[in-house]
Structure 1
Amino acid sequence: MERFFKEPWRIAGWVAAVALGLLLVTTTVRCAAESLPLYEALFERHSVSERTGITPKGLAHVGREVQAYFASGSDDPLLVEVEVHGVPRSLFNENEVSHMADVKALFLRVYRVQWLSAALLVALTLLAAWRLRRNAYLVIASWLRRGAALTAGVILVLGLLSVVAFRQVFIVFHYIGFPQGNWVFDPRTEYLVQVFPFGFWRDITLLIGVFILLGTAVLWGADGVLRRYCSRERPAS
Structure 2
Amino acid sequence: MNGFLKYFIAFLGSISFIVAIFLSSVQVAVYGDIDGYFLKEYRKYNVFENVDISENNLMYVTYEMLDYLDDKRDDLVIYTTVNDEEREFFNEREKAHMYDVKNLFNSGKSIRVKCLILTIFTYILVILKDKSFLSTISKGFLGAFTFVLATTITLTAIISSNFTKYFTIFHQIFFDNDLWLLNPEKDLLINIVPEGFFVDTAIRIGSIFIFTIMAISVLSVVLIFVDRKRRSL
- CA–CA distance in structure 2, aligned partners of residues 128 and 82 of structure 1: 55
- Does the residue aligned with 1:6 lie in a helix, a strand or coil? helix
Aligned to 2:196: 199
Aligned to 2:49: 50
Question: What is the correspondence of 1:61-100 to structure 2 with a 5 Å cutoff?
Answer: 61-72=60-71, 76-100=74-98
**1:73 Cα deviation after fit:** 6.7
- Does the residue aligned with 1:234 lie in a helix, a strand or coil? helix
Change (3 A) 1:4 1:38: farther
| Alignment of 1:128 onto 2:118 | no
| Alignment of 1:163 onto 2:160 | yes
Aligned to 1:185: 182
Cα offsets for 1:54-100 (capped at 9, x unmatched):
111112112111110011176x3322222112322111110110000
- Does the residue aligned with 2:75 lie in a helix, a strand or coil? coil
Q: Is the 8 A contact 1:4 1:139 kept in 2?
A: no
Percent of aligned pairs with the same amino acid: 20
- CA–CA distance in structure 1, aligned partners of residues 46 and 102 of structure 2: 25
Q: Is the 8 A contact 2:7 2:137 kept in 1?
A: no
Q: Is the 8 A contact 1:52 1:195 kept in 2?
A: yes
CA RMSD of aligned residues (A): 1.7
Change (3 A) 1:79 1:4: farther
Which 5+ residue runs of structure 1 have no aligned equivalent? none
Change (3 A) 1:4 1:81: farther
- CA–CA distance in structure 2, aligned partners of residues 148 and 80 of structure 1: 43
> TM-score w.r.t. structure 2 length?
0.92
Which 5+ residue runs of structure 2 have no aligned equivalent? none
**1:126 Cα deviation after fit:** 2.3
2:173 to 173, 176, 182: 176
> TM-score w.r.t. structure 1 length?
0.91
Aligned to 2:226: 229
Q: Is the 8 A contact 1:149 1:216 kept in 2?
A: no
Displaced runs of 4+ in structure 1, greater than 3 A? none
**1:10 Cα deviation after fit:** 4.0
Cα offsets for 1:1-46 (capped at 9, x unmatched):
xx64233x24413321320221121010111222313222211211
Cα offsets for 1:179-237 (capped at 9, x unmatched):
2121111112210101111111111012212222222311220111111110221134x
- CA–CA distance in structure 1, aligned partners of residues 52 and 143 of structure 2: 49
